[in-house]
Structure 1
Amino acid sequence: MTTTRARALALGSAMMLAAACLTGGGTATAGVDQMPQATNRTCTQATSPAARGLRLAWNDEFGGESLDKRSWSTVMDFPGRAGGHYHNTSYGSYAVDENVVLSNGRLRLIAKDEPVVGTDPAGTYQYTEGFISSHDKFFQAGGYWEICAKFPAGKGLWPAFWLIPQDRSWPPEIDVAEWFGSIEGMHSGLASGNWPDVRWDSHWSYGAAPTQGWHKYGVLWSPGRLTIYTDGIPTYTVTGPQVPDKPMYVVLNSGTWANADRGGPPDETTVFPNAFEVDYVRVYR
Structure 2
Amino acid sequence: MMKLQFGIAALLVAASLTGTAQAADRHLPRASETTCTAGGQQRPAGMRLTWHDEFGGQALDRRFWSTVMDFPGRAGGHYHNTSYGSYAVDDNVVLSRGKLRLVTDNKPVTGTDPVGTYQYTEGFISSHDKFFQTYGYWEICAKFPAGKGLWPAFWLIPQDRSWPPEIDVAEWFGSIESMHSGLASGTWPDVRWDSHWATGLAPTTGWHRYGLRWQPGHITFTVDGVPTSTITGDQVPDKPMYVVLNSGTWANADRGGPPDATTRFPNSFDVDYVRVYSAK
| Match in the other structure for 2:241 | 248
SS in 2 for 1:73: coil
In the TM superposition, what is the alpha-carbon distance from 1:86 to its structure 2 partner? Answer: 0.3
SS in 2 for 1:98: helix
**Alignment equivalent of 1:202, drawn from 191, 195, 204:** 195
Taking the aligned partners of 2:176 and 2:191, their CA distance within structure 1 comes to: 24
Deviations 1:235-272 (A, max 9, x none): 11101111000000000000000000000000000000
- In the comparison of the two structures, how many residue pairs are matched? 246
| Match in the other structure for 1:92 | 85
1:261-280 alignment, distance < 5 Å: 261-280=254-273
Query: Unaligned stretches of 5+ in structure 2?
Result: 1-32
In the TM superposition, what is the alpha-carbon distance from 1:41 to its structure 2 partner? Answer: 1.9
Taking the aligned partners of 1:174 and 1:48, their CA distance within structure 2 comes to: 23
Q: Is the CA contact 1:41–1:213 (under 8 Å) kept in the aligned structure 2? A: no
In the TM superposition, what is the alpha-carbon distance from 1:207 to its structure 2 partner? Answer: 2.9
**Alignment equivalent of 1:151, drawn from 121, 144, 150:** 144
SS in 1 for 2:50: strand
Taking the aligned partners of 1:195 and 1:124, their CA distance within structure 2 comes to: 29
SS in 2 for 1:212: coil
Taking the aligned partners of 1:67 and 1:94, their CA distance within structure 2 comes to: 19
Which letter does structure 2 place at the counterpart of 1:174? I
Deviations 1:1-48 (A, max 9, x none): xxxxxxxxxxxxxxxxxxxxxxxxxxxxxxxxxxxxxxx920023444
Q: Is structure 2 residue 97 aligned with structure 1 residue 104?
A: yes
SS in 2 for 1:75: coil
Deviations 1:164-216 (A, max 9, x none): 10000000000000000000010001111111111111100113600000000
Q: Is structure 2 residue 135 aligned with structure 1 residue 142?
A: yes
In the superposition, the TM-score normalised over structure 2's length comes to: 0.86
| Match in the other structure for 2:113 | 120
Deviations 1:37-60 (A, max 9, x none): xxx9200234447x2220000000
Which letter does structure 2 place at the counterpart of 1:60? D
RMSD: 1.3
Which letter does structure 1 place at the counterpart of 2:53? D
Taking the aligned partners of 2:61 and 2:40, their CA distance within structure 1 comes to: 24
Taking the aligned partners of 2:257 and 2:201, their CA distance within structure 1 comes to: 18
After TM superposition, which residue ranges in structure 1, 4 or more long, deviate above 2 angstroms? 45-49
Q: Is the CA contact 1:156–1:258 (under 8 Å) kept in the aligned structure 2? A: yes
| Match in the other structure for 2:170 | 177
Taking the aligned partners of 2:190 and 2:88, their CA distance within structure 1 comes to: 30
Taking the aligned partners of 1:279 and 1:252, their CA distance within structure 2 comes to: 12
Taking the aligned partners of 1:119 and 1:182, their CA distance within structure 2 comes to: 29
Taking the aligned partners of 1:200 and 1:48, their CA distance within structure 2 comes to: 31
Taking the aligned partners of 1:122 and 1:100, their CA distance within structure 2 comes to: 21
SS in 2 for 1:157: coil
Percentage identity across aligned positions? 79
Q: Is the CA contact 1:184–1:208 (under 8 Å) kept in the aligned structure 2? A: no
1:13-162 alignment, distance < 5 Å: 41-44=34-37, 45-48=39-42, 51-162=44-155
Taking the aligned partners of 1:125 and 1:190, their CA distance within structure 2 comes to: 29
User: Which structure carries more relative contact order (alpha carbon 8 Å, separation 6+)?
Assistant: 1
Taking the aligned partners of 1:201 and 1:88, their CA distance within structure 2 comes to: 21
